[in-house]
Amino acid sequence: MSGSVRSVPGAFPYGGSLQSAADTVAEGPDPLAVPWSRPAASSRGWSAGRVSVVTVAALLLAWWLAAALALVSPVFLPSPLAVAAKFVKVATDGYVDATLWHHLAASFGRVTFALLASALVGIPVGLAIGASPIGRGIFDPLLEFLRPIPPLAYLPLVIIWFGIGEASKVLVIAIAMLAPIALSTAAGVRGVAQERINAARTLGASRRQVILHVILPSALPQVLTGLRIALGAGWTTLVAAELIAATEGLGFMIQSAAQFLVTDVVIMGIFVIAGIAFAFEFLLRWLELRYVPWAGRM
C-alpha cells in the first residue's frame, strides 16, 4: 500500500524540516541567509547559515580591499562605499531621467503583471496536462519546445509581432515563466492521491467539483513552488525584456549605465534586482507557510 507510511499515527516524516522552516521565519528574516538553506544542527557550530554569513563577509572584504588598494581601476571596480553612495544618489536624484524608485516600480510592475498573466494561462494548462491525456498530448510538446529557448532568441520575434510597447516586454517575461508554472502544476495534479479523489466521488462530488475542491487544493503546494521558480526565471529575463525600447526599468538602467561605463550604477542595479528577487522568494515562502501549512505533513 503506497499510503500506509503516511497513516502511521503521529508520524509526520517531513514535520521536522517544516518546523525548522517555520522557525527561520519566526526568528525574523536573516538578510544574508539563503532562503533554501536549512539550518542544520552541527556538532562544531558550523551550520550552513553561519558559513554563508562568513562567505559573504569575506567576499565583501575582498571587494573592499581590492578597491581600497586600487588593485583594479575604480572605473571597472568601484568600492562598496561608492556603490552604496550611488544607491542613495540614484534613489534621490535619479539616473537617466528617473529615480531608482521609478526604475524599480517599472520593473516590478512588468514582472508582477507577467506573473499574473502567466499564472492565468499556466495553471489551467498544467491542470489539463496533469488531468487528461488529451491535454497532455496538446500542451506537453509545446512546453517542451518553449522551455529550453533562451528569451533573447524569441525576443526579436516578439518585437516583430507585437511591436516595441509595454506588451512585448511583459510577454517576453511571461513566456519565460509559463513552463515552470504549467509543469509544476501538472506534477502537482498528477500527484494527487487517488484515494482523495475516490473519497470525494463517493461523497457525491461531480467531476467538476472533484477538480475544484480536491485536485486544485491538493496541487496548491506545487503550484506555489512553480510560481517561485517562475519568479526566478522572470527576474532573469527582465534585462532582456528591457532591451526593447525601454525608458525606465532596472534592466534598462543597468544597460544605459554600462554603455557609459558607469560601473557603480551597474553593480548597484544588480544588487537591487537580487534584493527584490530575494524579497519575492521570502514572500512566497511565507505564502506557503500561511496557505499550505499541511504540505509535507499529510
Partner 1 sequence: MSQLRLDGITVRYEGQPAPAVAHTDLTVSTGEFVVLTGRSGCGKTTLLSVAAGLLAPTFGTVRLDGREAPEPGSDRAMVFQDDALFPWLTVAENVAFALRMRGASKSERRQRAVEMLRRVRLEDAADKHVWELSGGMRQRVGLARALAADPRFLLMDEPLGALDALTRERMQGLLLDIWSSSGTGVLMVTHGIEEALILATRVWVMAPGPGRIVRTFETDFGRRVVGGEPILSVKGDPAFQEMRVALAEAIYAGEPA
- Provide the binding-site residues for partner 1, judged by CB under 8 A: 1, 3-4, 6-10, 12, 193, 195-196, 198-206, 209, 213-214, 217-218, 220, 292-294, 297-298
| DSSP character at residue 38 | -
Backbone φ, ψ for residue 165 (5° rounding):
-80, -170
Q: Please report how close the Cβ of residue 270 comes to partner 1 at its closest, in angstroms.
A: 39
Residue 222 near residue 187, CB atoms below 8 Å: yes
Closest CA to 114 of 267, 225, 242, 222: 242
Is the Cβ of residue 78 or residue 221 nearer to partner 1 in the bound state? 221
Is the Cβ of residue 205 or residue 277 nearer to partner 1 in the bound state? 205
Q: Please report how close the Cβ of residue 181 comes to partner 1 at its closest, in angstroms.
A: 20
Is the Cβ of residue 38 or residue 207 nearer to partner 1 in the bound state? 207
Is the Cβ of residue 6 or residue 38 nearer to partner 1 in the bound state? 6
Q: Is 10 left (phi over 0), alpha (psi -120 to 50) or beta?
A: left
Q: Please report how close the Cβ of residue 15 comes to partner 1 at its closest, in angstroms.
A: 9
Is the Cβ of residue 27 or residue 195 nearer to partner 1 in the bound state? 195
Residue 104 near residue 276, CB atoms below 8 Å: yes
Q: How far apart are CA 90 and CA 153, in angstroms?
A: 32
Q: Please report how close the Cβ of residue 199 comes to partner 1 at its closest, in angstroms.
A: 4
Is the Cβ of residue 84 or residue 200 nearer to partner 1 in the bound state? 200
Residue 232 near residue 224, CB atoms below 8 Å: no
Residue 64 near residue 75, CB atoms below 8 Å: no
Is the Cβ of residue 38 or residue 297 nearer to partner 1 in the bound state? 297
Q: How far apart are CA 248 and CA 217, in angstroms?
A: 39
Q: Please report how close the Cβ of residue 29 comes to partner 1 at its closest, in angstroms.
A: 25
Q: Please report how close the Cβ of residue 22 comes to partner 1 at its closest, in angstroms.
A: 13
C-alpha to C-alpha distances, 60 to 33, 50, 215, nearest whole angstrom: 15, 16, 47
Q: Please report how close the Cβ of residue 294 comes to partner 1 at its closest, in angstroms.
A: 3
DSSP 134-156: HHHHHHHHHHHHHTTS-HHHHHH
Is the Cβ of residue 146 or residue 295 nearer to partner 1 in the bound state? 295
Q: Please report how close the Cβ of residue 6 comes to partner 1 at its closest, in angstroms.
A: 6
Residue 164 near residue 225, CB atoms below 8 Å: no
Beta pairing partners, 98: 95
CB neighbours (10 Å) of residue 204?
7
